[in-house]
Structure 1
Amino acid sequence: MGHYPSLTKVATSLGIDARELASKKETKGGIEGFSRTNLERYALSLAESERWGVFMDVLALIIYGIVLFPNVENFIDFAAIDVFLAFKHEKMSPRGSQIEIKNKSEWAYSIANLSEKTISWYSREQNIDEVICQCGDFRNVPLMGTKGCVNYNPTLALRQLSYSIRSPPVEDSITPFMVYDMTKKLDFLNKIRQSWDKVIKKGKELGKRNCNVELSYQQWLNERVQHVKLPF
């Protein structure tokens, strides 16, 4: 515990000058790390200079710290950075990888023309027969980690498992939650633990595997896009 990567190692991995990185380090609640705002500003500058490789690393680090391993809100601590660097090292191939280079206009065109047909929704190699759809009184799947809790909404992921979506989801089945300070939510944590004794799975009742969606779901999705202000 506490043996986190040095600033030099982090700077080298992210392609940032070590002195510049040191100037951005902060301490919140006795925990060292970097604010989300600072990393997002740096990512924006990388995008403007078209340093896409480093940009993707910084973006991935932000996701690790904010979504996957949250501890302090809007703060990426060294524990999350340590996990990120370990994952990055594991995934690096000796032969390297080729990243398609595009300018801003080409990226904008590519993203604007993405559609559901662009996505490979399901790999038959997964061979998944049942899906966890609910835990106890939760209409979704609560997940508990060492630093906090989030929920997973399988209703929105059925197509990834090659099941069709036949109707819009019930609102409380897609309502997200995130717990940062577990010491203040002991009753809620106990409820999560108990919910995993009552796991509800579905399989054949989800219908045939065809990745299709019904018109009512498509209409709901279009309205949702407008509500959350997605650009396309």
Structure 2
Amino acid sequence: MESSKRNIYSFKFKDPDLRSLRSLVSQMHPVYRINFGKNYGNLLSILNQQVDHTALITLAQFYDLPLRCFTFQDFQLAPTLEEFERLVRIPMKDKSLFEGTNESLPLEVIASALHMDEKEAKDNLETKGNTKGFSLSFLLERAHTLLKAESWDACYSAIALAIYGIVLFPNMDGFVDMTAICVFLTRNPVPTLLADVYYHISHKYTKKNGLIACCDPLLYQWFLEHLPKTGAWVEQSDRIKEAWKNVNRKGKAELGRENGITKEPYFQWVKERVQIIKMPFVIRTPIPLPEPKLTHVPIEEMEELKTTMAKLEKENEELQTKLQQTTNEKNNMKWELERKEAQLQAHGQLRQAQKECQDNERWWHLATKENKTIRDTLGAQIKELTNFVRHAKAEVDQERRLKKIATEASRVSPMVWEEKCQEVRDARESVSYWKNQLESLRQDSSIWLKERDYVIEDYESFKKTIDFLQGDRDKFRAKLDGLVGFCNWAAKELPWRLRDAVKELKEDSTPPAIINFVLLCKGLLKRFNEELEELQARKPAV
């Protein structure tokens, strides 16, 4: 037999740790919290909203996936842009929409929105998972520093971005990802918040279990607005939360939206829809009432009754409309009154704080006049505390850098680690090889130094020999010059003297030895001239 009850799914809602963020906001004066709301709407109220996750898990059981709404036994609820805009109090008009995460967003855009320089943004922009972003600790530390320095615009932006990343669009614990940063830059979170709620609930409802990571404080505020403010529901709310499966009607035959104007066709359609999708609890069939006895009524009276009923229904609808308008005006006036009361309270606290400051200043001047040593001591303590803060900040920066290095090191895969180890081994082998080469070169250089000494000694010896030969060369050159002069003289004088001697020769009276000597000299002279001509021919032209 088919069950008349829908299955109950195992849902969870993300519950981030907001204690540090709430503690930081609590240190702000009410005046500055009001000023924060002028730029960032109702984010502080959403941050401080205490959420009953059991109620949200119960609400998720009634989700109607095809219609994207929450279908109950007699009515339906669906979050709208107008409702979320009123709760967040950030107007949507004339603002750009979030069109997707831009991981390559220029640093100057982020730095400008957060009132910081690009270097600080670059140094603190971390990578976690597949996205970039800022750690919550960095934003809180920066906001706390700016709070002490009373740099309010920069402080507000840091707190607002932290709320965007941890409360409005929670993803990773303690980390504000690039998606939250991109939505923050649009200054228009309402459409994205509504889409985020529908997406996460629809996605997990399809899987029938899982963690719903949307802005649960905002969804809870929206849900509370549709619950009765007085009556049995409020008086027995704790018991109802525990026993939501056994919902009992009391007073009305039908349940419906408070002050909602609905007609019978809608109720009939909702009942048919409930029969299709079923409820997460057993619907009890009401006991039928006994049929009334028929009474004869004249036609004229019947027509008059119909006319009266139509008139009363019309008046009822008009009254319902006026009541709804009056209720809305009442709520608006209530919100405006609360805002003005908060402003008045803030102004009163501001005046009280100013008075206290004046009193403290007067006592300070009196104490300064009475004892100058106290001021010097306080100055020394302030200086010491300043140095301590500076050193502490340096240690924190060092720890952050070490943490970043450790984080980067932890992302190294085994394959990359093995490659790095192999590179180290190769580098060690290369170092060992070059050390051996260096030692060999040192030994060779020692040998070369000895050889150089030998060469220097040989050079000195050769130099002495060259100097000695240089002196002999000069002597031989002088002798050679004399010989050349003699040869030149002989080449010039011998021919004509030899001709004269040949003419004087007489065969009958000259001894044969003299004749032979003259002929020998003639032959020598001829040969000498031939040698000179040959040398002259071989001499290069200048």
Which TM-score band applies after superposition, normalised by the shorter structure? 0.3 to 0.5
Task: Please state which structure has a larger fraction of its residues in strand.
Answer: 1
When Rg is computed on C-alpha atoms for both structures, the one with the higher figure is 2
TM-score calculated relative to the size of structure 1:
0.46
Task: Please state which structure has a larger fraction of its residues in helix.
Answer: 2
